[in-house]
Amino acid sequence: MATDADPHTPEHDRYNSGILIGSCMKMKFEELSQENIASIGFCCVIPQQQVSRVAVTTKRAFFPKLGYDGVVVKAGETVVVTDPGLGDKFVTVENFLSVLANNQYYSLLKGQICHEVMEDGEVQTQFWSGFHFVQKPTETIFLRLNEIKRKVMLYPNNEEENFVVLDYSRPTTPYIPIVPCFPEKGDVVQVLGEEEEWFGQVTSVSERNKLAQVQPLTASARWPGRNLYMKERRLRISAETVHWNSILQIANGKWHSGTCWEWLS
C-alpha cells in the first residue's frame, strides 16, 4: 500500500517515510466519525469536506529509514513523533490508516499521546538514565508517517502509576553521566558530607571495600576567600572513613607547601 501522496514530496521520499503492511484479510474498512475527519483534515492541512468518510486500516507499518535496516511498528507500540504544533511527543499506536483526501491517498498514524509527567514546570526524568516519565495514553491524535522518528518502550513505574520511557535510540544524551571516582593515596578529594562538602587528602585506600581514609583540610583563616586549605601539622583532626560513592571528584589544585593546598576551581 502506498504512503502519503503529498504532491510536493518526491516519489522515493514518500515510500521511505513509511509503508502500511498487512494481508488483505487483516486490513479493514472503517467509517470515520466527523471528529476524526476534522482531525485528519487538520493533520493533512486540507478542508475536512475533502476527506473521505471511509478509511482502510491496518495494524502495522514498515519504515525503511528508521533503525539499521528499517523498523516495523505495530499497534500497541510507542513511538517518538515530531508534530509542528507539539514538538517531540510520545504516542502509543492504535492503528495505521490510508484515507482518500483531496483526490490523493494519505497514510496516517492514529494513536494516543502519552503526556510527560511535570512538576513545578519541569519534565520529570529518571535520575540515573535521564529517561522521561509519562502518563497513561489518553488524547487521540492523527499524524503523518514522516513525523515518526523512532520506536521506544514504556516500562511501568508502579510506585507512581505512570511509565518510564525506555528511549535507547535517542540521538543525544540529555543528562550528565555520573563517572565513578577511584581515589589514590595522596589525592585531594572533594567529599559530600552529611551537612556540607569538604576537602581532604587521601591517606589510605581499600579497593576491596571501596573505602578511603581521608584527612580533612580546613579553610585558611589567614587568607579567607582565596580557596586555600590547610593540613593540620599535628593532625588534631582525625581522618574520616569515606565510601567512594561519597567522593564527588579528585579535586583540581596544587600544594604551595607541605601544609597549604590551593583549590583551582
139-152 residue pLDDT tens: 899 999 988 989 99
Q: Which three cell numbers stand for residue 38?
A: 476534522
Percentage of the chain beyond pLDDT 70 is 86
Query: What confidence tens digit (pLDDT) does each residue in 88-128 have?
Result: 889 999 999 999 988 889 999 999 999 988 888 888 887 77
Q: Domain 11-166 falls in which CATH fold?
A: SH3 type barrels. (2.30.30)
Q: Give Cα 123 to chain centroid, integer Å.
A: 10
> Which range among 98-102, 156-160, 174-178 shows the weakest confidence by mean pLDDT?
174-178
Asked if residue 82 lies in contact with residue 90, where contact means CB atoms within 8 angstroms, the answer is no
At 29-48, the pLDDT tens digits run 889 999 999 999 998 888 99
State the pLDDT at residue 120: 84
Q: Report CA-CA distances (Å) from 14 to 2, 40, 59, 153, 251.
A: 8, 18, 20, 26, 55
Q: Look up cell 561519597; give the residue.
A: 246
Residue 191's DSSP bridge partners are 198, 247
Q: What is the pLDDT of residue 233?
A: 65
CA 116, 141, 112, 117: dihedral to nearest 10 degrees? Answer: 10
Query: Predicted confidence band at 189 (pLDDT cuts at 50, 70, 90)?
Result: very high
Cβ density class 193-217: b for 16+ within 10 Å, e for less = eeeeebbbbbeebeeeebbbbbbbb
- Average pLDDT for the chain: 83
**Residue 20 and residue 227: Cα distance in Å, rounded?**
64
pTM of the predicted model as reported, rounded to 2 decimal places: 0.58
